[in-house]
Amino acid sequence: MDLPVDEWKSYVFQKWSLLPKSIQVTISTAETLSDIFLHSSLLLQPEDEMFLQNLSRGYLVEKDPNAPLFYREEGNKKFQQKDYMGATVLYSKGISHSRPHTADISLCYANRSAALFHLGQHEMCLKDIMRAQMHGYPERLQPKMMLRKAECLVTLGRRQEASQTISDLESSFAAKPTLAAAQFQILQTNLCRLKMKAQEKESLTETFPAALTKALEDMDLKGENGQVPSASSSVSLRTDPLRGRYLVATKDILPGELLVKEDAFVSVLHPGEMPPLRHLESKWDTRVTNGDLYCHRCLDHTLATVPCDGCSYAKYCSHDCMQQAWDLYHSVECSLGGLLLTLGVFCHIALRSTLVARFEDASEVIRKLCGEIRNRDTCSPERETLVQTLTCDLGGESENKGKMLEPPVPGCDLNGKYESNYNAVFHLLPHTGNHSPEHRFLCALSVSALCRRLEAASCYKPAAAVPPGSGSELDVWGVAMLKHVLQLHCNAQAITTIQHTGSKENSVTNSRQVRLATGIFPVISLLNHSCSPNTSVSFISTVATVRASQQIGKGQEILHCYGPHQSRMRAAERQQKLRSQYFFDCSCAACQNEKHSAATGPRWEAFCCRSCGALMQGDDVLICGSTSCTESVSRDHLISRLQDLQQQVGMARKLLRNDEPERAIQLLLGCQRDAQSFLSGEHSLVGEMEDDLAQAYAALGDWQKSATHLQKSLQVVEVRHGPSSVEMGHELFKLAQLFFNGFAIPEALNTIQRAERVLMVHYGPWNDEIQELRKMKSCLLDLPPIPAGPSV
C-alpha cells in the first residue's frame, strides 16, 4: 500500500538483477539523489512503461457509463432490505461513475437522499435533493422527492422553508390533474400528515452544531511559540549531533496539555481493500472502503460524497473541498489515478508535495536541487543552462543571488523559525545510504515513470521559479520526489481514526484504531522515539494533536512512539522493527529495563504451571517458577496449545458476528476452562475472552453479567497498557455504556468519571467518546430520585 504493488516491485527487482555489474555499482555508490535519479531514469525503457501501464489499467478509476445503473439497482436491493447504510454507499459509487447533468447522477442523488432520510441524516438528505435537482431530476418524479424535502425541513425545525415547500407542493398537485388517482391519493395523504407534523413543530428552533469547527477552534495552544508556530510555548527546538533536531519542555508540563497542533503539509487517503479488477469476480466492486466514507482532501467522515467530475476514484465531503483539491493538486492527479494506486501511497505523497510546493516560495529548495544537478560530472549543456536560468531567476537582493545562506537549524528559515511548510519537508532526512541499492532503484525508477507520464500528459506546471518549456524541469522535481519517497520511509505519519463497531440495538460499541491516511507533519517529525513515550497523538480531520500523556519535567525531551510500543511488542521485536524501518537501535528507558527483566517475559504473554499455577520461566524448556514444584514443559507445546485456543476463540467471534451469542458463550466458557490450565490470569488472550463474553451477554441484554466480564477484561488491559493508557480509556467507555444500559446509576457515574479523566488526557474535550460520556452523565443526573423503600 505504501510501496508499489508486488508485481511492479518484482519486475523492477528482476530488472536490477539483470543489469551489468558496472551499472549496479554506479547506482549503488552514487553520492547524491540526483545521481541516483538521473542514472535510473536513463534505464527506464518503453517496455517497462508498457508493463506499468498494463498494471495501472487494472484499477477502475475512470467513469464507466454502465456502472451507475448497476450500482443504483444494487443500492435499491439494499434499500428494500432496509440496509440503508449499504444502500447509501452503493448509490455513492453510482454517483462517482456518473457524468454531471445526466439522468444517472440525478437519480442516484435522489435515491441516496431517501436512504439518508431513513438514517436520520436530514441535512445531508436536503443537500442531495438539491444536487438531484441541479443535475436535472425528472419533473414527473419531483413530488415524492419534494415531500421528503418538506419532511426534513419540518424535522429540522425550519418552519418557514417547510411551509413554502408544502405550499409549492399543493400548487403542483392542483396544476397536475393528470396524476393517476392512486398516486394522487398517496401524495395527498402524505401531504396532510406532513402539514399536521409541521403544526406540531411550531416551537422547534433550528440548531446545527458545527462539531468539527468547534473542536478545531477549541484546540488552542498554550502561549505563542515564535520558534515553532505549530507548538506551544511549553516546548523548544534543540539540536545536537547525536539526537539531531528534537523538542524539549521549557517548563513543567501536566498530563493532557496540548503541545503540538499541526495540519498535515499533505496527506493521502489510503485506498483500503481495493484490489485490481483482475482479482475481482465482478467488474464493479460493491465492497465498502475508506475511499467511500471519507473525504479525499480533509478526511472528514461523510455518507454523502461529492465525486470528481473527471474520475470515479476521488470523492469529497463538499463541492468546496472538491474545488480546493482540484486547484492544489487533483487537476494533475486526476488522469493518473490508476498509476498512483499502482505506485503506492509514498509516490502519491511525493507528487502531491511538489504540487503543493508550487504555491509556496520554494526558491531556496530549488537552488539546492539545481546545485546538486549542476555539480554532477556528467551534467549536460542543456541541464547546465537550466540550472543557470533557475539560479538567475530566483528572487532576492542582487548581492544574494546564487548564494546559499544556511539557517542555524535545517528546515528553519533565516530567522530561525521552523514552520510546517515545504522548506521544512525538504529538510527531513531521506537516509539515502541506509536504503538498499535495490530499494533506491525501485523508488527512482517509479518516480522516473511518473515523471515520464506527467511529461506526456503535459499536465504538470512547475513552480514559478522554474521556467516553463525548459525541457528538463521535471528532472528537478523528479529528484525532489525521489527524496520525498525515501523520506517517507522514516517520516511518514499514519493518520488514524477510531472506528466503532458493535450492537446498535444494545448501544454497546467496540472501538479500534484504524489507519485512514498517510501524511507529512514536519513538526511532529522532530519528535524522537521512545517505546514508552510521554505523549499521545490523535487526529481531527487532517490536524494532528500531540498531548502530554504523563507529567513532563522542565528540560525533559518530548518523546513519541513510532509504532513499536513496550505494551505491544517484546524488546527484541521492537529493536528489529526500528532497525529495519528507522535505521537505529533504541536505548530508551523501556528497552534498558527489559534487559534486566525476569525470564518470564511480559506478564501478558506468560504461561502458568498446570500443577500449582505459578508462572513458568525459561526459553525452549519452561520450568515452574515455584521452588516447591518440579513441573516442566516445552515452549513449543504450550505455543501449539495457545494457537489451538486462539482458533477456538476465533470461531466464537464468528458466532457473535452471526448473531448467535448463546452458542458463542458456551464455546468461550469452554475456552476459559482450557486457558486456566496453562495461561496466566493476566495473559492477553484471557482478557480478550472476557471481553468477548461481555459482548455476548450484552447482545442478550444481560448487562450485569456483561459488566462483570468486562471488569475482568479491564484488569488485564491495565496490566498490559497501564491505568492511564488510551486502551484503558476505551474499555472504561464500554463499561460505562453497560452500566448505563443496566441502570446501575452509581456505578455508571463513577465509571463515566474515570473514563472521561483518562480520555481527556489523550484526546481533549471534543473526542466523540467524551461527548457521549457527558450525554450519559447528563441523562443520569436528570433522572428523578428513586423513592426509598418501606422501612423494615
Residue 128 covered by a domain: yes
Give the pLDDT confidence of 113-151 residue by residue, as tens digits.
999 999 999 999 999 999 999 999 998 888 889 889 988
* Distance from C-alpha of 446 to C-alpha of 675, rounded to nearest angstrom: 50
pLDDT tier at 509, thresholds 50, 70, 90? low
- The grid coordinates of residue 276 equal 485490481
**Residues 257/232, Cβ–Cβ less than 8 Å:** yes
Task: Give the pLDDT of residue 63.
Answer: 94
Task: Give the pLDDT of residue 502.
Answer: 55
Among the ranges given (113-117, 191-195, 695-699, 730-734), the one the predictor scored with the smallest mean pLDDT: 191-195
**pLDDT > 50? residue 325:** yes
Task: Give the pLDDT of residue 471.
Answer: 41
Residue 40 covered by a domain: no
* Distance from C-alpha of 745 to C-alpha of 747, rounded to nearest angstrom: 5
- The grid coordinates of residue 290 equal 475508506
**What is the β-pairing status of strands 528-529 and 559-560?**
parallel
Q: With helix as H, strand as E and coil as C, how does 401-418 read?
A: CCCCCCCCCCCCCCCCCC
| Three-class secondary structure of residue 511 per DSSP | strand
CATH number at residue 660: 1.25.40.10
Residue 91 covered by a domain: yes
Residue 763 covered by a domain: yes
Residue 473 covered by a domain: no
Task: Give the pLDDT of residue 400.
Answer: 39
Residue 517 covered by a domain: no
Task: Give the pLDDT of residue 393.
Answer: 37
Give the pLDDT confidence of 345-401 residue by residue, as tens digits.
999 999 999 999 887 766 666 666 665 555 554 444 444 443 443 334 333 333 333
* Distance from C-alpha of 655 to C-alpha of 285, rounded to nearest angstrom: 27
| Three-class secondary structure of residue 466 per DSSP | coil
**pLDDT > 80? residue 95:** yes
**Residues 270/292, Cβ–Cβ less than 8 Å:** no
Task: Give the pLDDT of residue 503.
Answer: 47
Report the candidate in 760, 369, 349 with the shortest Cα–Cα distance to residue 521.
Answer: 349
Task: Give the pLDDT of residue 216.
Answer: 47
**Mean pLDDT across the stretch 687-697?**
94
Give the pLDDT confidence of 255-267 residue by residue, as tens digits.
999 999 999 999 9
**pLDDT > 90? residue 71:** yes
How many structural domains compose the chain?
2
Q: Which residue has the cell 418538506?
A: 150
Give the pLDDT confidence of 498-508 residue by residue, as tens digits.
877 654 444 56
Task: Give the pLDDT of residue 150.
Answer: 87
At residue 207, φ and ψ (nearest 5 deg) are -135, 130
Widest distance between CA atoms in the chain: 104
Among the ranges given (204-208, 553-557, 684-688), the one the predictor scored with the smallest mean pLDDT: 204-208
Per-state percent for the chain, helix, strand, coil, to nearest 5: 55, 10, 35
* End-of-domain residue from the set 152, 179, 197: 197
Give the pLDDT confidence of 196-209 residue by residue, as tens digits.
554 444 433 333 33
**pLDDT > 50? residue 292:** yes
pLDDT tier at 416, thresholds 50, 70, 90? confident
- The grid coordinates of residue 713 equal 477484561
**b/e map of 632-657 (b: 16 or more CB within 10 Å)?**
ebeeeebeebbeebeebbeebbebbe
Among the ranges given (49-63, 363-377, 676-690), the one the predictor scored with the smallest mean pLDDT: 363-377
pLDDT tier at 520, thresholds 50, 70, 90? very high
pLDDT tier at 407, thresholds 50, 70, 90? low
- What is the pLDDT of the chain when averaged over all its residues? 84
Residue 707 covered by a domain: yes
Q: Which domain does 728 fall in, by range? A: 603-782
Count CB neighbours of 627 within 10 A. Answer: 7
Q: With helix as H, strand as E and coil as C, how does 243-289 read?
A: CEEEEEECCCECCCCEEEEEECCEEEECCCCCCCHHHCCCCCCCCCC
* End-of-domain residue from the set 144, 172, 197: 197
* End-of-domain residue from the set 139, 169, 197: 197
Residue 110 covered by a domain: yes
Among the ranges given (243-257, 469-483, 519-533, 722-736), the one the predictor scored with the smallest mean pLDDT: 469-483
* Distance from C-alpha of 667 to C-alpha of 679, rounded to nearest angstrom: 17
Rounded to 5°, the CA angle 739-536-736 comes to 0
Task: Give the pLDDT of residue 380.
Answer: 46
Task: Give the pLDDT of residue 788.
Answer: 53
pTM given for the model: 0.86
